[in-house]
Structure 1
């Protein structure tokens, strides 16, 4: 079997970084795209086998330039996210929600569309969304809109792009830098409260979710699917 080529966009931290590591452990050549110079420098120091690139996933020109240097791509993982779009609907900042769509929805779609000419015939696309698309949690209507829009495209794209595969992985609460906006004490208290109510009784690690992403990317019998890896969050409430 020839060496597989992977690209993880949004792969310098959290779920994306753990996915890149696990794909590399499977023997793939793994390229990682991210916006932050500091995170890319840290990646080069901690994971020298991963090939870092300073690229914004929403920048079609830069993504196209990167893909031209990579050549044929077997596994594309898009883990772009953003910190905006949450909050009670009556007070929701719609400009912030537009920014959330720009960062995650349009960023992921731009990356995928630009990558299609470079994707192997048996290649795969895996998007990282969030369980807010289906969980019905108060204060997440904006997040649900962004992630729901991405997940709604998975099944029709799987039919349209065949035999290339496309899936999404939908995590719940994960201890990633997405929560860095909260003071540590507040975050720890919230995680403790939430873990007591989750069926799994724990907050996921990025590696937990990355295992599902790797499955979606590499399993040749999986397409048109949204894999829920939420610790049972959709089955309960956090009140």
Structure 2
């Protein structure tokens, strides 16, 4: 099938996506910043090849892409944790770091890998429902995710016949929530399960299934796939 590169693939949606692409027959390479997580993946998923690289480091990502030869599938699952909170209280330096951690790492990774992306290859980005949801306290993080999504349509035309898509998850049970106190996570998940039309919180593999579709379907480009369990249809505040 070719080579797939999953930037930010050592846990959560990224790792679940790497596993799905490997099952589909791809030679899957993934990146992570921390040696410990890469070692964990090497132990749990020896069929995946891990590389220590920061998505915000253009030279490192370009060198990795060059070493792989031709990349057929690029998935960018790099995430950040900043940018949440009421706008009156939101620290702008924190929001700038949130853009650095997600939007700029997405853009840097795409630019670094692009010279090595197959002419019929694909790019799949990971945004989030806050890009479009009217949830109080998410203006900052929503702006970050909206910036990621703003890349999709122009790049789908500019880079054609390469395909460019994004997947927009809602609440997903991943290690990302470890940054919050357990009671915050439990309360948010309970509210989501009671309010979202699907009446459940997504797993990483739920989202990975959609990411793999976007990455491999030859007729899908310029699209943001909603994978939020219908949360964008109802009030989630």
User: Which TM bucket (shorter chain)?
Assistant: over 0.9
| 1:152 CA drift (Å) | 1.4
CA distance in 2 between counterparts of 1:156 and 1:212 reads 21
Runs of 5+ unmatched residues, structure 1: none
The partner residue of 1:133 within 131, 134, 137 is 131
Find the partner of 2:70 among 69, 72, 76. 72
Listed one character per residue, the Cα deviations across residues 151-208 of structure 1 (whole Å, up to 9, x for unaligned) are 1121111010000010000000001111111222331222112210010000000000
Q: Hey, what's the Cα distance between the residues in 1 that align with 2:184 and 2:104?
A: 31
Q: How high is the TM-score relative to the length of structure 2?
A: 0.98
Which one of 96, 113, 116 corresponds to residue 114 of structure 2?
116
Alignment equivalent of 2:155, drawn from 137, 154, 157: 157
RMSD: 0.8
Structure 1 window deviating more from structure 2 (190-199 vs 117-126): it is 190-199
| Aligned partner of residue 135 in structure 1, secondary structure | coil
Q: 2:8 aligns with which of 3, 7, 10?
A: 10
Mapped partners of 2:130, 2:106: distance in 1 = 17
2-structure distance, mates of 1:169, 1:16: 12
Aligned equivalents of 1:174, 1:132: Cα separation in 2: 13
Correspondence 1:209 to 2:207: yes
If the length of structure 1 is used for normalisation, what is the TM-score?
0.97
What SS does structure 1 have at the residue aligned with 2:235? coil
Query: How far apart, CA to CA, are the structure 2 residues paired with 1:96 and 1:233?
Result: 27
- Where does residue 24 of structure 2 map in the other structure? 26
